[in-house]
Structure 1
Amino acid sequence: MSLSPSLSALRTAALAAAGLLLAAVPLAQPAAAEDAVARGKYLVGIAGCNDCHTPGYFLGKPDMARYLGGSEVGFEVPGLGVFHGPNLTPDKETGLGGWTDEQIIAAVTQGKAPDGRELAPVMPWHAFATLTPDDQKAIVAFLRSIPAVSNKVPGPFGPSEKPTSLILRVVPPQP
């Protein structure tokens, strides 16, 4: 009686192991996607995106039902105009729903809108320019996962235009 397994038994065991591995692969993908969304949520939270992009935040009552749906309060930058934190939700008409992943990443890390214009100077893209590619993708995954909010923010308003909303004004010190 031999204790060594037959070639046929080894083949059967190897095929069974390969089958188990292949069956487990689809389970790993959703977990990785969930991890990316969780990482993106964390990054968006510590980056303070909620502050400028959620209605009511600057009024002391953030409307979390419209989380990241765009601010009704604008920033006035002397000589440049008034800028509102836009809608970051996946709404196709008023948010990022029509943007590609690459366009969202360019806005966050390079301060560039899809049309090529530079984002308002209050957008701290310089601070996000060194995000790793995985962190960039995680932020996109999270923004794509939140509920779409239909909310067109006012503006932007040039320096000679009259804003139609509340504004936070940056006032330089007087000499």
Structure 2
Amino acid sequence: MSIAAAVLLAAPAFAETPEALVARGAYLARIMDCAGCHMPRGPGGAPDPAGGLSGGTIGFQMPGVGIFWPPNLTPDPTGLGGWSEAEIIAALTTGLRPDGRVLAPIMPWPSYAAMSEADQKALAAFLRAMPPVARQTPQIVASAAEAQAPFYAVTLP
């Protein structure tokens, strides 16, 4: 076998570098609009890119759920810092957190469950590679009187 043929046969094994995996994950996070919910907002309501995906500062009120705010997705301990790749992928594809809690219905995990295994790993790699941002997500509350941050009310017919 020639050296060129050997290089071509071996190329797929080296094609998925850690950098390429993270870049693919960043692309997926953009087209999946993770920032639409998980990026903090500035005083005028515009997204604050400096906050990364450190958690939404505008919550959602849903009947039967309460008022909740999108969590911190950075690898800080206040976010996904203690989660393994497998736990991140399980949450994205089954809607279950490592602690057994079900993700809020607004999280489109049923759609994400259709991602390929390679894309699941890429998105998890990106989330784990982001700079950690310490930002505690407000606790779920039952009423507007208890809310400590702004929120949208989602009504169901």
TM-score under structure 1 length normalisation:
0.77
- Letter of the structure 1 residue corresponding to residue 50 of structure 2: A
Aligned residue for 1:85?
70
Q: Tell me the CA shift for residue 41 of structure 1.
A: 0.6
- Taking structure 1 as reference, are residues 59 and 81 closer, same or farther at Cα in structure 2, changes over 3 Å only? farther
More helix by share: 1
Aligned residue for 2:109?
125
Aligned residue for 2:30?
45
Q: Indicate conservation of the 8 Å contact 1:58/1:73, yes or no.
A: no
Q: Tell me the CA shift for residue 57 of structure 1.
A: 7.1
Aligned residue for 1:110?
94
Post-superposition Cα deviations, 1:86-143, rounded to whole Å, max 9, x if no partner, equal 0000102x11010011110011111101111101111110110111110000001111
2:59 to 71, 74, 85: 74
Q: Tell me the CA shift for residue 63 of structure 1.
A: 1.2
- Taking structure 1 as reference, are residues 45 and 157 closer, same or farther at Cα in structure 2, changes over 3 Å only? same
CA distance in 1, matches of 2:145, 2:119: 38
Q: Tell me the CA shift for residue 79 of structure 1.
A: 2.4
Q: Which runs of 4+ in 1 moved over 4 A?
A: none
Structure 1: runs of 5 or more not aligned: 1-13
**3-state DSSP class of the match of 2:128?**
helix
CA distance in 1, matches of 2:20, 2:63: 42
- Taking structure 1 as reference, are residues 102 and 158 closer, same or farther at Cα in structure 2, changes over 3 Å only? farther
Structure 2: runs of 5 or more not aligned: none
Q: Indicate conservation of the 8 Å contact 2:95/2:103, yes or no.
A: yes
- Taking structure 1 as reference, are residues 58 and 35 closer, same or farther at Cα in structure 2, changes over 3 Å only? farther
Aligned residue for 2:134?
150
Aligned residue for 2:147?
163
Q: Tell me the CA shift for residue 162 of structure 1.
A: 2.1
- Taking structure 1 as reference, are residues 95 and 104 closer, same or farther at Cα in structure 2, changes over 3 Å only? same
TM-score under structure 2 length normalisation:
0.85
Q: Tell me the CA shift for residue 59 of structure 1.
A: 5.3
> Matched residues, percent identical?
45
Largest Rg, 1 or 2: 1
